[in-house]
Amino acid sequence: MIKITRNKRSPVVPVSSMSDIGFLLLIFIMLLALINQRHEVKIDYPEAETVEKTQMEHNLEIWVETDGTFTVDGKLQTTAGLEQIIAAAVVDHPDVRIHIIADRNTPYRYVNQVVEVLQLLQHRVVSFVVREGT
């Protein structure tokens, strides 16, 4: 009598589709990163020991350089331009958080110009962006 023994295959989880899932997720996250692209201005951040998270769902970042240059979304602005941008942002999203991101050596008068615009528009809350450090 001939005995035919079958080789039992050990159970294997197919992982070939994992790379597809991985790359799809990757594309999704990369696209999200593109949408949330931040136009960063090269500044020297002020530092403080303890800071709190001030980020919200809707944010508007106003960059202030040492020479008093205002930048929003990578475009230079005047105080009048800032007024329009802030007003439009508040109309779009009333809960928008305004962030002032100023260089640590910026004379306060330039930061105050932004504060005055916010006061003029009766926007009560502002975030002074600071980097956590010594």
Q: Where do contacts with other proteins occur on this chain (CB under 8 A)?
A: 2, 4, 7, 15-16, 18-19, 22-23, 25-26, 29-30, 32-33, 36, 38, 46-55, 59, 61, 64, 99, 101-109, 111-112, 115-116, 118-120, 122-132
**For residues 36 and 42, which CB has a smaller minimum distance to other proteins in the complex?**
36
**Min. distance of Cβ 81 from other proteins in angstroms?**
20
Q: With respect to other proteins, which residue has the nearer C-beta, 85 or 130? A: 130
Q: From the CA atom positions of the chain, what is the Rg in Å?
A: 26
Burial of 60 (0-12, 13-18, 19+ CB in 10 A): buried
From the list 76, 47, 56, 62, the residue with the least C-alpha distance to 112 is 62
Angle of helix 79-92 versus helix 108-120 axis, rounded to 10: 50
> Is 48 or 76 the residue whose CB approaches other proteins more closely?
48
